[in-house]
Amino acid sequence: MADPFRVLVTGDNLAPAAVNVLSEIGADVVLMRDAVTPERLTHEMATAPTQAILMRGNPVFSSAVIASNPHLRVIAKHGAGVDGVDIDAATKQRVLVMVAGDANAPAVAEHTIALILALGRDVVSLNARTHSGAWDRATYRGREIRGRTLGLVGFGRIARHVARTAAALGMNVVALGRSKGRVDPALAREAADLAELLTVSDIVSLHAPLTDATRGMIDAARLNAMKSGAILINTARGALVDEDALCTALKSGHLAGAGLDTLAQEPPAKDRPILQAPNLIVTPHIAAQTGASITRTGVEAARNIAAVLMRRDIDRANVVNPAALDPP
């Protein structure tokens, strides 16, 4: 009898439904507790042949880590972002890197809309003032979301969900995809470039992957190019934004607010300046953390692994590096 597959999970838990998917193919599921470092990954994969990684969080899979395991066939992300993986190294070793499709997109989109509404209607600041004894009904004048322009930087699965909901709220939606022609005209108008999107948008929401090209893309110059009184939302990757520049833009009043579910450093140091900025809502990278989303995402990641290990049909839409599928 052949040895069972070994699936290493870079986290301390996995939804039972996802574990069942892997158990059905006879896989041993190994959970990793505590910090997951490259050294620990290399050591753990050296203890026994490991055919698959179910990647929770965003640990670093460097070229050295990938090369240290000749048995590895697939790295399946429990979500969408794979910026911690050296994609070129994985492709060279013919290791598929896969994401969990649309599984967590509805949850992240809902959280994006929640941040837009909370900031757009000053929910957090009014709540704090009311609890402190103020009653601003006679003087407060808010702005409706309806009729405002939402700019989506990136137009993948999450952004498309956001676009549909924003349109239902009466917003005008413009978007910028990774390349021309990727924006569905039924959902949004395609911006000519990032400069145009920033200029016309009342609210800018980031949905781009973190790459060398996008790291720090929302810098001081681009923040200054945004409308006075605009709002910035980031439920993608913290490092897309220059946090010091954002802090300045919020303190000066150039931006009316910002909603961040991700930060460049997670968890942040308590004295990190961005946390002291006014009109800022920060949540602890939980946009995808609903019970239903966690189960859907775990099951999709497990199915990706099962398809690769059992040589079943692979959902190519979930494959980040399709070149790894090409004949050697």
- Please tell me the total number of residues recorded for the chain in this structure: 328
Beta-strand ranges (E) seen in the chain are: 6-9, 28-31, 52-55, 74-77, 96-98, 149-153, 172-176, 189-190, 203-206, 230-234, 255-260, 280-282
266 is catalytic: yes
Report DSSP state, residue 12: S
Concerning whether 161 is annotated as a catalytic residue, the answer is no
Tokens representing 150? Answer: 């939402």
What is the rounded CA–CA span in Å between residue 58 and residue 25? Answer: 26
Residue with tokens 């290990």: 309
Distances (CA, A) of 249 to 22, 152, 276, 299: 48, 20, 13, 41
Per annotation, catalytic residue among 73, 285, 296, 303: 285
Amino acid 143 reads: R
DSSP annotation of 319: B
- What b/e string do you get for 184-219 counting C-beta neighbours within 10 Å, with b at 16 or more? eeebbebbeebeebbebbbbbbbbbbbeeebeebbe
In the sheet that holds 203-206, the strands lie side by side as 189-190, 172-176, 149-153, 203-206, 230-234, 255-260, 280-282
pTM of the shown model: 0.92
Q: What tens-digit pLDDT sequence spans the chain (328 residues)?
A: 457 899 999 999 999 999 999 999 999 999 999 889 999 999 999 899 999 999 998 899 999 999 999 999 999 999 988 999 999 999 999 999 999 999 999 999 999 999 999 999 999 999 999 999 999 999 999 999 999 999 999 999 999 999 999 999 999 999 999 888 889 999 999 999 999 999 999 999 999 999 999 999 999 999 999 999 999 999 999 999 999 999 999 999 999 999 999 999 999 999 999 999 999 999 999 999 999 999 999 999 999 999 999 999 999 999 999 999 987 7
**Nearest to residue 116, comparing CAs of 170, 71, 65?**
170
Side chain identity at 17, as an amino acid letter?
A
The one catalytic residue in 71, 182, 266, 312 is 266
From the candidates 111, 237, 296, 303, which is the catalytic residue? 237
pLDDT at 3: 76
DSSP notation for 146-197: TT-EEEEE--SHHHHHHHHHHHHTT-EEEEE-SSTT-S-TTT-EEPSSHHHH
Q: Is 237 among the catalytic positions?
A: yes
Q: Which amino acid is at 33?
A: R
pLDDT for residue 327:
75
Q: Which helix (H) or strand (E) holds 191?
A: none
